[in-house]
Amino acid sequence: MFEKRVEKLRKILVEKNIDGFLISNFYNLLYLTGFKTLTADEREAWGLVTKNNIYLFTDSRYKVDNKLLTSKLITPNEGLIKHLTKIVEEEKIKRLGFEGDDLKVNELQRIKDFLTNVELISLEKLIIKIREIKDEEEINNLRNACNVADQCLKDIIKIIRPGTSEKEIAFKIEFWLKEKDYDISFYPIVAIDKNSAVPHYDTRAGNNENVKKNSIILIDYGAKFKDYHSDTTRMIFVGKQSTEIVNIYNKLLEAQTKTIEQLKTDSSPVSVDQYCRKVLTTNYNLSTTTYPHSTGHGVGLQIHEFPKISFTSTDVLLPNQVVTIEPGVYLNDKWGMRIEDTILIKENKQIEVLTKFSKQLLIIDH
């Protein structure tokens, strides 16, 4: 598995006449080697792919048990730079690529100061673009992550009733997952009534609205399975709803369903995004101002990956990509609705909706 991923990278390096590639990004290192540190936010490990070797640089806090990797211990006396200097000389590296969209300016400057005889080449989005296309193991992990999330929400809706708060629902989602040895993909967005009109409402910093009779509840959440994410948004309605709200929800669901079908024949993310907006605005007379975000994004080791499904995207939709489709309608100071699924684009113009929790109008009547 990891060998195939590294070979994809090496093929690109050969095409670009690059002798080695320095990996600083946590998720790219995890993708290529299976190695991860405690946190993605601190620089605790590096990777280097050359024509013949895969090097991993980290300190004694971590045990490296991977026969594919040549492990180099970072110590106070022998840091990354010293290791790189030796390897560059041993492997006669003249052109060294690095992650230009991840490496910090001061890190790059330090490398330049010591590797004076090496041409440093900035390459952006090199590995993350490889990560767009999921292999069989990744797809199975994503499918499992979606299944876990489905099971979670089935139990969570049982505790929702008038008086339940946004933070309580978010906590219950996180607790359910962690109690079963899973984790959240991101802190859940639980937005009730007016708060649901804010597309990326921050539940942690919000006013912790309580469920009331006739409330509208937006829940955007995800589960992790073996480092891979799911992403789902569902609407929950409490008690009897107005005809306007029911009709708009059904129109939004129809638009989302048609856009998912569009993935079978349309390889342009820009076109898919435009199609979704056209269905909402032309067919269903919903203003474009009520839909301020992109139609979807890739999902994998990170909750937001390539391809981007938006009017600015430069990507192409291809088999074995996993993406979201998530149109929404938001009426300021009133309420908002979003319906989101995680979807596998398959061969032969087929798609598989991985998030299977029902999208039919869900009314809780306590």
User: For the residues 91-108, what does the mean pLDDT come to?
Assistant: 96
84 and 226 in a common domain: no
When the pLDDT of each residue in the chain is averaged and rounded to a whole number, the result is 95
> Which tens digits make up the pLDDT trace of 164-220?
999 999 999 999 999 999 999 999 999 999 999 999 999 999 999 999 999 999 999
Check which CATH number belongs to the domain holding 157 and give it.
Answer: 3.90.230.10
CA-wise closest residue to 309 among 352, 246, 262: 262
Give me the mean pLDDT over the 34-49 stretch: 93
pLDDT band at 289 (very low <50, low <70, confident <90, very high): low
Last residue of one domain, picked from the residues 130, 163, 183:
130
User: Are residue 245 and residue 264 in the same domain, yes or no?
Assistant: yes
Average pLDDT of the residues in 155-160: 97
Select from 130, 156, 183 the last residue of a domain.
130
pLDDT classification of 324: cutoffs 50, 70, 90: very high
Domain count, the chain: 2
pLDDT of amino acid 242: 94
Residue 140 has pLDDT above 80, yes or no: yes
- Confidence label for 332 from pLDDT (cuts 50, 70 and 90): confident
Question: Mean per-residue pLDDT for 294-318?
Answer: 97
First to last CA, the chain: 50
| The pLDDT value given to residue 111 | 95
Q: Check whether residue 100 and residue 199 sit in a common domain.
A: no
pLDDT of residue 321: 98
Mean pLDDT of 42-51: 95
- Whether residue 151 sits in one domain with residue 32: no
Could you tell me if 248 and 229 lie in one domain? yes
Tell me the mean pLDDT in the region 137-151: 98
Residues 225 and 316 both lie in one domain:
yes
Query: Within this chain, do residues 259 and 292 fall inside the same structural domain, yes or no?
Result: yes
Q: Which domain holds residue 146?
A: 136-364
Q: Give me the pLDDT at residue 290, please.
A: 63
Domain ends where: 113, 130, 147?
130
Looking at the structure, do residues 34 and 148 belong to the same domain, yes or no? no
Question: What confidence tier does 360 reach under pLDDT thresholds 50, 70, 90?
Answer: very high
CATH code at position 89: 3.40.350.10
Least confident of 4-18, 22-36, 278-292: 278-292
Selected residue with higher pLDDT from 67 and 78: 78
Q: Is the pLDDT of residue 288 over 80?
A: no
Whether residue 184 sits in one domain with residue 156: yes
Tell me, what's the pLDDT at 349? 86
Q: 287 falls in which pLDDT band (50, 70, 90)?
A: low
Is there a single domain that holds both residue 159 and residue 118? no
Residues 355 and 212 in one domain: yes
What percentage of the chain has pLDDT greater than the value 70? 98
Say yes or no: 146 and 112 in one domain: no
Name, in order, each residue with C-beta under 8 angstroms of 88's C-beta and a sequence gap of 6 or more. 20, 96, 115, 117, 118
- Evaluate whether 203 touches 187 at the Cβ level (below 8 Å): yes
pLDDT for the residue numbered 366: 66
pLDDT (0 to 100) of residue 133: 98
